[in-house]
Amino acid sequence: MSSPVNYTLTGNIGVIRVDNPPVNALSHAVREGLLDAFETAAGDASEALLLICEGRTFIAGADISEFGQPPREPFLPDLCDRMEVSAKLFVAAIHGTALGGGFEVALSADYRCASPSARVGLPEVKLGLLPGAGGTQRTPRLAGVEAALQLMTSGAPIAAPMAGETGLVDEIIDGDLLEGALDYVRKLLADGAPQRRTSALAVPEHDPAIFDRFRATLAGKARGQVAPQAIVDCVEKAAATPYEDGAAYERQRFTELMNGGQSKALRHFFFAERAAAKIDDLPKDVAVRPVDSVAVIGGGTMGGGIAMTFANAGIPVTLVEIDDDALERGLAIIDGNYAGSVKRGKLSEDKAAACRALITGATDYAQLADVDLVIEAVFEDPNLKKEIFAKLDAVCKDGAILATNTSYQDVNAIAAATGRPQDVLGLHFFSPAHIMKLLEVVRGAATADDVLATCMQLAKRIRKVPVVAGVCYGFIGNRMLQPYAAQTQLLLLEGATPEQVDTAMEDFGMAMGPLRVFDLAGLDVGYKARQSLSDEQKGDPGSYRVPDQLVEAGRLGQKSGSGFYSYDENRRPTPDPEVHRIIEAAAADLGVERRTVSDDEIVDRLVGALVDEGRKIVDEGIAQRASDIDVVYVYGYGFPAFRGGPMFYADNQGTA
């Protein structure tokens, strides 16, 4: 089999080409091919070497098919060191993306040139790792300490022009990259440019206090994560010691992280996200339907966010409301959201205006006759939803996809209100819909294969992470919230305080503790839902006694200024002795003897409640696989990715 690395002479320049589709990943064969090319070039007439890649990108990172396999020589750190000690001037030419190990290879060259559209980065932190082939040592020598720390602890790539400003890229090449890079190498030779081994450069002067500042920032921003702090340690070592010592330290810390639980969890999640996009029983050759226009029924916060999601992806949207006043309010919400995005620097004014121009309003369902997809996003009234779907059935063209954004309701019952149940499914967005990445794609009993395939593909187009769910009350995520919420209330009755429960879960890594979440959502939402349930359906009285009493006392959550906490004008929570009194009185009324509850017990019981329900969901076929549940809970409910998701965490902790 031919090597994915090719070496040729172009005049006095040895050109090393990597051609390993689709992203020129650093497979074992690529590493071997590069080493062979270095050895060949060492003995020929070339005066300089140029490393460039075929296809749509430079080396975009490691070969994920080799994850979890024993490493094979040549190892990447050795390859980078071998590249750096070449006796000939070495230039890397970057296009597309140079990420992780791919960028570490480029950093080992004497000089780097890049297309203006190229992006470079060191995203290893997202897998609970640090750059392990000299990245933590070479980057600060070129870019300085602050830029290096920002690049590696965020894991976010930067554009080539910005990389040029920091010193990570030396030349921007307009036009054809190969011709421009060859001209650049010729100019370097003509100018007598010296070889410039990155490892031999001194780290630029910096404030030594920057390391502690980054550690303090990361302690909050990346709470509980070990890899970002290890990166700071390695960069500090780069600033204080010779390259060889820093590289040895980097390798030691890389190995610790690779063998640690957090990287194992994040690598699991990396593959879980990709597996979630696959539907086991869906034919691979199923054709998808075109979706070039969308309508959203309901202009509230959720409907507006959904409309923005499609507009941001360049898809025209019609927002439908009951009358002109409601439509005006809905469009005003969207205008405010776009203004906020511009103010926060998330969108330019021109981009926001272009997206907003794709959203039009309507109050007449007849205007939906030609749209390809309709998403209903009204409040959770099953009869209203059925009424809307009956109207859509009458006006929408054949082949239009009809979706409900319901969080809980029976998608099959909604589909039955139409004469085309095969065209109906659930598309459950999470609020705020234009920001949250998760999309539960709810497959009804009659949902056609091409409808399902279309919406899974569409999810990627609108930059969502899709997970397929079957039909049940609450689907995957919200169904699991019920026992989680119930266990939270039982912990309060047994002796925990709201602030202890929330702090324990936030220290565990949750984005927000459960009681803060309930206050944010509004305690009256659950209260109203319980009013229509029988005592048997409500379950253990302890699971709702306290929140019911809070609502009846006018404490609805943040929107009323008080719930499980009291809130100031900036919605900052403060523990409230009155809530403690209500909890203690409810416990006495229910005959619960209060005791000391440990933080570990809180975490075990709350995660255990999620896991227990999750196992039932998998057993019932509501979720295709346990890892899909992990994706739902990380992207939709703030479960820490560095724990791998609730199902992975339980399996690795032995949680019964």
CA atoms within a 13 Å half-sphere pointing along the CA-CB vector of 626: 17
CA distance 630 to 645: 4
CA distance 209 to 357: 48
CA atoms within a 13 Å half-sphere pointing along the CA-CB vector of 553: 17
Q: Rg of the chain's alpha carbons, rounded to an integer?
A: 28
The 3-class SS string of 505-557 reads HHHHCCCCCHHHHHHHHCHHHHHHHHHCCCHHHHCCHHHCHHHHHHHHCCCCE
H-state helical runs in 259-381:
261-276, 301-312, 324-343, 349-356
Q: Are 506 and 223 in contact (CB under 8 A)?
A: yes
Number of other residues whose CB lies within 10 A of the CB of residue 255? 11
Q: Characterize the bridge pairing of strands 373-376 and 294-297.
A: parallel
φ/ψ (deg, to 5) at 425: -155, 175
Q: What angle (nearest 5°) sits at the alpha carbon of residue 470, between those of residues 465 and 476?
A: 60
84 catalytic per annotation: no
CA distance 388 to 390: 5
298 phi-psi bin (left φ>0, alpha ψ -120 to 50, beta other): left
CA distance 551 to 652: 39
Q: Which helix H or strand E contains 288, and what residues bound it?
A: none
CA distances from 499 to 224, 232, 334, 508, 542 (A): 19, 32, 35, 14, 19
Q: Are 376 and 306 in contact (CB under 8 A)?
A: no
Burial 506-535 (b: 16+ CB within 10 A, else e): bebbbeebbbbbbbeebbbebbeebeeeee
DSSP 3-state of 631: helix
124 catalytic per annotation: yes
Q: Are 94 and 113 in contact (CB under 8 A)?
A: yes
Helix (H) and strand (E) counts for the chain? Answer: 27, 19
CA distance 281 to 468: 12
CA distance 614 to 191: 65
φ/ψ (deg, to 5) at 565: -130, 165
Q: Are 618 and 537 in contact (CB under 8 A)?
A: no
Which of 66, 84, 104, 179 is catalytic? The answer is 104
Q: What angle (nearest 5°) sits at the alpha carbon of residue 316, between those of residues 326 and 394?
A: 65
Which of 84, 124, 321, 613 is catalytic? The answer is 124
CA distance 282 to 266: 28
Catalytic residues, which ones? Answer: 104, 124
